[in-house]
Amino acid sequence: MLQVQHLYRSFRGIPAVEDVSFQVDSGEIIGFLGPNGAGKSTTVKMITGMLRPNDGHVFFDHRDIHDDMVAFRKILGYVPEEAHLYSYLSGLEYLQLVGRLRGMREAVIEEKAVSLLGLLNLDSWQHTPISSYSKGMRQRVLIAAALIHDPQLLIFDEPLSGLDVVSSRLFKDLLEILAAQGKAVLYISHVLETVEQVCDRVIVIAKGKVLADAKPAELTQLMSLPNLESVFAQLVQQQDTRTTAQEIVEVMKIRHA
Ligand SMILES: Nc1ncnc2c1ncn2[C@@H]1O[C@H](COP(=O)(O)OP(=O)(O)OP(=O)(O)O)[C@@H](O)[C@H]1O
């Protein structure tokens, strides 16, 4: 379904993504992991068409997404890490805007928007400006916006951010059903426990290159480590956080008065 081939992108001559290739098939939930600055967001921006690669291609159903971006946007649902919601709009107005941009029929937009807001516990807030929503409520609006046009490919960047326990559980159940119905899901997160729970396969990148592409269980087994967090730490050679934490506390103690 989604094929990412040898993506390369640099900023002012410095590579952010050097060589990233992977595939997400129908029905798969793929975790996309990497330390800060690894190139995840840059890769995702290239997959969503927001950024052009300097080299490499993104194919959906064997067509380069840039051949027809309008068509690609209709089959893509994206929850970005940083939301730029029009906060003067109400939740309902925002979903209506999103629906129109994706070429949906007006009557269908209204029906689906109201239903989705209700199911995400936002019915009593649907006419209130987003500016007065809490972080978790905004996140739920973003999730509704990503789903309203029933896309084939879903990209979620830290989707649980700000969600309470019940909403998080609802989202995880939703992911499972979406995958079972054949959607392709790319799931970007630093919360490895959740990734291990929900993802069929994980792709680990660092310094713009793919370090691993395997099932979580395969990685833990192969590296004889207890969980995905240990695998990740080993793969990206994370610093000794305990020592660094101790050093920070020592710096705090330096007398400043
Ligand atoms: N617009 C830009 N201009 C210059 N450098 C950029 C730009 N966008 C990203 N970079 C650089 O590219 C590298 C990869 O950044 P990117 O945001 O893709 O990483 P990330 O894996 O998403 O990190 P995080 O987990 O912190 O969100 C970083 O070194 C970053 O500074």
ipTM tops the 0.95 cut? yes
- pTM for this predicted structure: 0.91
Name the residue among 184, 195, 246, 178 with its Cα closest to residue 33: 195
| Contact status, residue 22 vs residue 214, Cβ threshold 8 Å | no
- pLDDT tens for each residue of 168-208: 999 999 999 999 999 999 999 988 888 888 999 999 998 99
For domain 2-82+151-253, which architecture applies?
3-Layer(aba) Sandwich (3.40)
CA of 41 to the centre of ligand 1 (A): 7
Residue 11, ligand 1, Cβ within 6 A: yes
CA separation for the pair 58, 169 (Å, rounded):
31
* Token pair recorded at residue 14: 């410095």
Query: Does residue 50 have its Cβ closer than 6 Å to ligand 1?
Result: no
Question: For 110-169, what is each residue's pLDDT tens digit?
Answer: 999 999 999 999 999 999 999 999 999 999 999 999 999 999 999 999 999 889 999 999
Looking at ligand 1, which atom is closest to the CA of residue 43?
18
- Which residues, in sequence order, are CB contacts of 255 under 8 Å at separation 6+? none
Write down how long the chain is: 257
- As beta bridge partners, residue 7 has 20
- Residue from 8, 18, 42, 191 to probe ligand 1 pocket by mutation (most atoms less than 8 Å from CB): 42
| Distance in angstroms (rounded) separating the CA atoms of residues 181 and 184 | 9
- Distance in angstroms between the alpha carbons of the first and the last residue of the chain: 62
Tokens of 58: 């993104």
Query: What is the reported pLDDT for 221?
Result: 79
